[in-house]
Chains A and B, each alone.
Chain A
Amino acid sequence: NAGVTQTPKFRILKIGQSMTLQCTQDMNHNYMYWYRQDPGMGLKLIYYSVGAGITDKGEVPNGYNVSRSTTEDFPLRLELAAPSQTSVYFCASIRLAGGPTNTGELFFGEGSRLTVL
Chain B
Amino acid sequence: QKEVEQNSGPLSVPEGAIASLNCTYSDRVSQSFFWYRQYSGKSPELIMSIYSNGDKEDGRFTAQLNKASQYVSLLIRDSQPSDSATYLCAVNNRGSTLGRLYFGRGTQLTVWP
- A: residues with CB less than 8 A from B are 31, 33, 40-45, 48, 50, 56, 58-59, 90, 92, 94, 96, 101-106, 108-111
Contacts and interface: CB of A to CB of B under 8 A. Distances in A.
B113 interface: no
B87 to A, nearest CB: 11
A110 B38 CA distance: 11
Contacts of A106: 44, 46, 99, 101
Contacts of B73: none
B69 interface: no
A56 B97 contact: yes
A117 B74 CA distance: 39
Interface in B36-87: 42-46, 49, 51
Assign chain B's interface to a size class. 20 to 34
A45 B46 contact: no
B104 A42 contact: yes
Contacts, number: 63
Contacts of A45: 100-101
Contact of A90 (B43, B46, B99, B100): B43
Interface string B95-111: 00111111111100000
Contact of B98 (A41, A90, A94): A94
B88 interface: yes
Contact of B99 (A31, A40, A41, A101): A31
Given A106-B101, A108-B44, 20 more contacts: A40-B105, A41-B105, A42-B4, A42-B102, A43-B88, A43-B90, A43-B101, A45-B101, A56-B97, A58-B100, A90-B44, A94-B98, A101-B32, A103-B92, A104-B99, A105-B49, A106-B46, A108-B45, A110-B42, A111-B42
